[in-house]
Structure 1
Amino acid sequence: MKILFDGLPITGQSLAIVSEHLLEGWLEHAPEDELHLAVGPNAELTVPDGVIVHQVPFGRSQTISRIHRQNTVLPRLAREIGADALLATLPTTAIVKMPCPKFLIAYDLRHELRPEQFSRMNRIQRRFSYRWEQAAAIGCISDRTRKDLLASRPHLADRPVVLAYLGGDHVDGWPRPHVPGDYALAFGQYGNKNVDLVIDAWGELEKRGNTRPLRIVGLGGSVRPQVEQKIADLGLTDRVTAMHWLPDDEFRKVFAGAGMVVFPSDFEGFGMPAVEAMRMDIPVVITPEPALVEVTAGHAEVMDGWDAPALADAVQRCEAWGPERVVEARAHAADFTWAHTASVMRELMVAELAGAPR
């Protein structure tokens, strides 16, 4: 098959990670396929050898240019290469009719279910640019996302809306220390990661005599001073380190060297850090958030509430894990591979092109 990947929305790290590893998994699963990737000028990703890249220039406004190019360049490109299918790396893709079926990957509906975590413009943009109804089939990265999508749009049940877990095997090549570090790792790049909750929990743990340091990564320039002030106010400056965005190599080293991952997110479509941690033998603490509970499947320490004492309790329970829990978690995470993600999406395309009944 000839498949055109719509990578024009790729700007941030998360979507770039998914795109480049999905392409790798696709080449592993179906090396006979011809893969084409359309990307804009600001896409920062490592494209695997064997993928044909089409650079698409943008104008001054990246959003307007991206929408315009998706509705002019993508159809023309699909005709020129004779594409059998278009795979959108985000549900925002071409509105116009394409010369081939469209397939979407659904990540989450956080902008609808947690609207306060998004700007008004961002919510409007997603509302009008996500093209669910035009998809021949949709792969959802968790059953939580699948249920949310069908609950809000029951008419999509007339087409395949299936489970397509993301992979985690990209961490297999990350540098691993001989001995895990003594620090816990948390993430601060988005509001749903609940940095304040983590810091409050570390304040609670300090009162209980906890000695494990904490590193919080991914703090942007405007957020980091506020986080550092909260850390200072709680007297945790010698225990908690607020870190900025790290280069990829440094981030991988810090992640792989952690002795525990603390991930108290209030909303996830999948929960990539949890899968990555399990695959690298790092114990994970999570909230009772549906997608996190789903993908960890009993192999993470789950908070029994949503406040700082509940998180502190879960961290202490996780401290008591034996090696067998870590081994079981790694075995579970072994099932999450990018080749499997590719196989699910490819099967949807094969069925559609064969005219299989929906």
Structure 2
Amino acid sequence: MRIALDVQSTLGRPTGIGQYTKQLLAALRRVAPGHEFVELNWGRDVIMRTDRRLRWQQWELPRRARAVGADLLHVTGFDAPRLRPCPVVLTVHDLVGMLFPHNLPPVARLYWSRWLPYSVRWATRLIADSQHTRADLIRLLGVAPERIEVVYLGVDDSLRPVTDLERLAAVRQRYGIADRLILYLGTLEPRKGLDTLIAAFAQVAADLPHHLVIAGKEGWYTGPLFRQVRTLGLERRVHFTGYVAAEDQAALYSLADLFVFPSRYEGFGLPVLEAMACGTPVVCSKAASLPEVAGDAAVLIPPEDAGALAAAVLKVLQDGTLRQGLRERGLERARRFTWEETARRTLAIYEQVT
């Protein structure tokens, strides 16, 4: 079978969808060497230009899938073409554009809230990252349950505890990281709950030697976060690193005494598992898919509750037994999620629709 995949999201500095696409494609080639996987992209970053994005998704992508003789097209992030040259599998990672439209820039808000209902209608089969996203598709868009398969994401094999002191020191120096740190890693955007994290850190900063490191690519509406840090007088204790290269992430997780992920909404929440895979204790919100992903291997707190988050941070950092238990359960939890299993389940869906 010749399977075409939309890999446009992997260009530039890939984040969530781009990393999903890269890891899935690599795993598919490992587990299914008898199939041919063709990468389709436009050779430029069109992600934030709506006019070009529409041209790519609705014209260029199906045209190229037809030109390469694809038996199936997998669109790995939200936008299915109306004209289908072959069966189309669409991965829907979340419904943030419909549930949290005010968290997006105006053009993106309009695009995601209006376009997604059409995309899910045009696709032959849908993949959801979690049971929670599947339920959202059924509840909000009226998708027939039998059209949606849940396929969990995996954890990259490179994400393991790092003990090499030279490697740790190099990453510490590269990102200007203090000796003791609490870490967040992910895109900076309103739904991630970083305002709650900063407010919680302000409550415990006097009781801890730790610095708060907020790592990841700037998304949108980040100005209020920087102002919040200045207003609280935390400029010397809160650090923004910017984008973190994939090869540095395992060391960064390993340097942290605690990983905090206070998101208001996630379709999956891969950073939670990545931190666990590196042996870092996790505190995360109990919003959306996060309890499904974290299981009993994290301390769960209500989203947008700075007091509860502050208390959880203190408890984990001051209780060595709890910290060790979280570390052990996290390592075990992360081992259950592999990209090979993601690829095998995805391949089974391909075979069902062709």
TM range (shorter): 0.7 to 0.9
- Per the TM alignment, residue 348 of structure 1 is displaced from its structure 2 partner at its CA by 1.1
Shift in alpha-carbon separation, 1:150–1:276, aligned structure 2, 3 A: same
- Bigger drift between 113-122 and 224-233 goes to 224-233
Write the distance in 2 (CA, Å) between the matches of 1:304 and 1:6. 36
State the partner residue of 1:163: 150
Shift in alpha-carbon separation, 1:155–1:260, aligned structure 2, 3 A: closer
- Bigger drift between 109-118 and 312-321 goes to 312-321
Of the three residues 13, 17, 20, the one matched with 2:22 is: 20
Write the distance in 1 (CA, Å) between the matches of 2:196 and 2:64. 47
State the partner residue of 1:124: 110
Q: Indicate yes or no: 2:44 matched with 1:42.
A: yes
Write the distance in 2 (CA, Å) between the matches of 1:278 and 1:313. 21
Percent same amino acid among aligned pairs?
26
State the partner residue of 1:288: 286
Residues 182-219 of structure 1 deviation map (CA, whole Å, 9 limit, x = unaligned): 31112461111122211111111134x12222111236
Number of residue-to-residue matches in the alignment: 334
Shift in alpha-carbon separation, 1:9–1:239, aligned structure 2, 3 A: closer
Q: Indicate yes or no: 2:257 matched with 1:259.
A: yes
Aligned amino acid, residue 326 of structure 1: R
SS in structure 1 at match of 2:51? helix
State the partner residue of 1:7: 7
Aligned amino acid, residue 108 of structure 1: D
Aligned amino acid, residue 97 of structure 2: H
- Bigger drift between 110-119 and 210-219 goes to 210-219
- Bigger drift between 88-97 and 18-27 goes to 88-97
Aligned amino acid, residue 338 of structure 1: W
Shift in alpha-carbon separation, 1:176–1:265, aligned structure 2, 3 A: farther
Shift in alpha-carbon separation, 1:245–1:349, aligned structure 2, 3 A: closer
Write the distance in 1 (CA, Å) between the matches of 2:75 and 2:229. 41
Say if 1:186 and 1:216, in contact at 8 Å, map to a contact too: yes
Residues 55-96 of structure 1 deviation map (CA, whole Å, 9 limit, x = unaligned): xxx8xx943233224333333333333212110011203211
- Per the TM alignment, residue 346 of structure 1 is displaced from its structure 2 partner at its CA by 1.1
- Per the TM alignment, residue 231 of structure 1 is displaced from its structure 2 partner at its CA by 2.6
Write the distance in 2 (CA, Å) between the matches of 1:68 and 1:229. 38
Write the distance in 1 (CA, Å) between the matches of 2:55 and 2:264. 35
SS in structure 2 at match of 1:172? coil
Write the distance in 1 (CA, Å) between the matches of 2:329 and 2:24. 26
State the partner residue of 1:105: 91
Aligned amino acid, residue 93 of structure 1: A
Of the three residues 300, 303, 309, the one matched with 1:302 is: 300
Shift in alpha-carbon separation, 1:109–1:224, aligned structure 2, 3 A: closer
State the partner residue of 2:348: 347
Say if 2:2 and 2:70, in contact at 8 Å, map to a contact too: yes
Say if 1:224 and 1:244, in contact at 8 Å, map to a contact too: no
- Per the TM alignment, residue 36 of structure 1 is displaced from its structure 2 partner at its CA by 0.4
State the partner residue of 1:46: none
Write the distance in 1 (CA, Å) between the matches of 2:258 and 2:274. 12
Structure 2 alignment gaps of length 5 or more: 170-178
Structure 1 alignment gaps of length 5 or more: 44-57, 354-358
Say if 1:67 and 1:93, in contact at 8 Å, map to a contact too: no
Say if 1:287 and 1:305, in contact at 8 Å, map to a contact too: yes
- Per the TM alignment, residue 259 of structure 1 is displaced from its structure 2 partner at its CA by 1.8
SS in structure 2 at match of 1:87? strand
State the partner residue of 1:185: 183
Q: Indicate yes or no: 2:194 matched with 1:195.
A: yes
Write the distance in 2 (CA, Å) between the matches of 1:63 and 1:232. 34
Of the three residues 116, 133, 151, the one matched with 1:145 is: 133
Write the distance in 2 (CA, Å) between the matches of 1:295 and 1:332. 9
Shift in alpha-carbon separation, 1:85–1:245, aligned structure 2, 3 A: same
Taking only aligned residues, the RMSD between alpha carbons, in angstroms, comes to 2.7
Aligned amino acid, residue 8 of structure 1: Q
Shift in alpha-carbon separation, 1:197–1:276, aligned structure 2, 3 A: same
Aligned amino acid, residue 75 of structure 1: P
- Per the TM alignment, residue 39 of structure 1 is displaced from its structure 2 partner at its CA by 1.1
Shift in alpha-carbon separation, 1:76–1:4, aligned structure 2, 3 A: same
Say if 2:159 and 2:274, in contact at 8 Å, map to a contact too: no
State the partner residue of 1:54: none
Write the distance in 1 (CA, Å) between the matches of 2:65 and 2:196. 47
- Bigger drift between 160-169 and 139-148 goes to 160-169
Structure 1-normalised TM-score? 0.84
Residues 171-190 of structure 1 deviation map (CA, whole Å, 9 limit, x = unaligned): 43785555896311124611
- Per the TM alignment, residue 128 of structure 1 is displaced from its structure 2 partner at its CA by 4.2
Shift in alpha-carbon separation, 1:137–1:261, aligned structure 2, 3 A: same
- Per the TM alignment, residue 262 of structure 1 is displaced from its structure 2 partner at its CA by 0.8
- Bigger drift between 223-232 and 192-201 goes to 223-232
State the partner residue of 2:173: none
- Bigger drift between 314-323 and 287-296 goes to 314-323
- Per the TM alignment, residue 107 of structure 1 is displaced from its structure 2 partner at its CA by 0.4
Greater share of residues in helix: 2
- Per the TM alignment, residue 222 of structure 1 is displaced from its structure 2 partner at its CA by 8.3
Say if 2:127 and 2:150, in contact at 8 Å, map to a contact too: yes
